[in-house]
Amino acid sequence: MRIAMIGTGYVGLVSGACFAEFGLDVVCVDKDERKIAMLEEGRIPIFEPGLDTLVARHKEAGRLSFTTDLKAAVRQSEAVFIAVGTPTRRGDGHADLTYVFAAAEEIAEALEGPTVVVTKSTVPVGTGRRLQRLFRAKRPDLAIDVASNPEFLREGSAIEDFLRPDRVVCGVESERAHDALANAYRPLNLIETPIMFTTLETAELVKYATNSFLATKITFINEMADLCEKVGADVQQVAKGMGLDGRIGRKFLHSGPGYGGSCFPKDTLALLRSGEQYDSPLRIVETVVSVNEGRKRRMVRKIVDACGGSVAGKTIGVLGVTFKPNTDDMRDSPSLVILPALRAEGAKVQAFDPEGMREAEALLPEVEWCAGPYDAARQADALVILTEWNVFRGLDLGRLHDEMRRPVLVDLRNIFDPLQVTQAGFAYTGIGRATTPAA
């Protein structure tokens, strides 16, 4: 089966490479010549563990190719996947579908025979129907079937999530669309992955409902963490007790500085807009969005409090600036709010991140970037753990203590054991757990 994948971002490139892994012939298309040139040379424009090897293997086998020529790619394909970005439209929170409809126009022009056009990008409910109308109007001469196949991969575990998904969701309105998606995902039958066929609107909504529910789950445990700090409970134990209930499940119950990334923030906002558009207000999601935004500022207060009430003239070391570990992605990372706020309160901020600094430099101009975690701790009046990269879990606490001006550790991801840290001579502040003075 031959497919075209339009868009070589996090979703498009991973999906293209994984479909090649499933044995399909895949042509990945992007307008960005620089990106395509990089991919042609075997270089990967994003950091995603294992993606370089997967792309190289299938490029070598001739199953995966890259081009800027959408027309040529689309012509020979049985299915065309749209995996372009659908960022939040500045100002009103709607998903910006400019790239989706631009791709659709080009696809309509290029098609020469019956084809299935699949939206893999996260698109608001009703977009598939709109695309169907566009293709009917543009190419009444051709049978173009629109389908929805939202992606659930997580950055940092994207390949695993694509190759061994909990489920595949397909919105189809024709036999041809059903068969095209069933063929594309056939290898998953071997591992009995549930492949759900439903309508366009239902498939589109499953994606937004899933991401918004996960964002809700995180925000719930974050508020429980605040209460734990007041009543002297331990949020990690609360999360454990909750998660042992089969109806809740233990995942996505890690409290932290608030969710970020390229999806939860934009998908929750876009779902709110859909709720307004169809006069069905989503008050829980509305609260999740505002609580999460407020949480980043609460984290600034937590850091200031840990420094005795002021950071003016102090040096704050920060470990981790990406929105989560195992990615270089800085989109909507809590660091983009927290670090400038610390600067605004007069602190000097020095930071280290294993993968994010290249992206972060342009976004956080007033931060001093360090070569490693101990450099970020040097002469610091406090050290803040903002992203839970594994490399931080094994840091030598004695060495950190010697580097710092004042032994204050603010662990916004609860990666350390408070007892161990206080015994190493630090005053410890975590999330949803007791703040403890140095032993």
- From the candidates 18, 28, 263, 370, which is the catalytic residue? 263
Q: How far is the CB of 403 from ligand UDX (least distance, A)?
A: 26
Q: Binding of ligand UDX at residue 263 (CB under 6 A)? A: yes
Q: Binding of ligand UDX at residue 220 (CB under 6 A)? A: no
Identify whether 263 is a catalytic site residue. yes
- Stretch touching ligand UDX by CB under 6 A, among 30-38, 193-201, 251-259, 347-355: 251-259
Q: One symbol per residue from 161 to 200: x for binding ligand UDX (CB under 6 A), - otherwise; what is it?
A: ----------------------------------------
C-alpha dist (Å) from residue 314 to 344, 348, 379: 12, 6, 10
CA–CA separation, 111 and 230 (whole Å): 62
Q: Binding of ligand UDX at residue 154 (CB under 6 A)? A: yes
- Stretch touching ligand UDX by CB under 6 A, among 50-58, 81-89, 148-156, 361-369: 148-156
Q: Binding of ligand UDX at residue 155 (CB under 6 A)? A: yes
Q: Binding of ligand UDX at residue 432 (CB under 6 A)? A: no
CA 143 from centre of chain? 35
Nearest-10 Cα torsion for 68, 58, 19, 103: 0
CA–CA separation, 85 and 97 (whole Å): 8
Q: Out of 57, 139, 186, 254, name the contact with ligand UDX by CB under 6 A.
A: 254
Q: Binding of ligand UDX at residue 208 (CB under 6 A)? A: no
Q: Is residue 269 within 8 Å of residue 88, measured between CB atoms?
A: yes
What does the block give as tokens for 412?
């916004």
20: CB partners within 8 A, 6+ apart: 26, 54, 58, 61, 63, 64
Q: Binding of ligand UDX at residue 75 (CB under 6 A)? A: no
Question: Residue number with the shortest CB distance to ligand UDX?
Answer: 263
Element at 311 (helix H, strand E): none
Q: How far is the CB of 32 from ligand UDX (least distance, A)?
A: 21
Q: Out of 47, 81, 99, 259, name the contact with ligand UDX by CB under 6 A.
A: 259
Q: Out of 145, 151, 204, 381, name the contact with ligand UDX by CB under 6 A.
A: 151
Kindly give the residue spans of alpha helices, DSSP state H, lying in 4-50.
10-21, 33-40
Under rule CB under 6 A, which residues in 354-413 are in contact with ligand UDX?
A: none
Angle at CA of residue 41, ends 37 and 45, nearest 5°: 65
Q: Is residue 393 within 8 Å of residue 357, measured between CB atoms?
A: no
Q: Binding of ligand UDX at residue 261 (CB under 6 A)? A: yes
Nearest-10 Cα torsion for 70, 74, 80, 82: 10
Q: How far is the CB of 155 from ligand UDX (least distance, A)?
A: 4
Catalog residues that contact ligand UDX under the rule CB under 6 A: 151-155, 211, 214, 218, 252-254, 256, 259-261, 263-264, 323-324
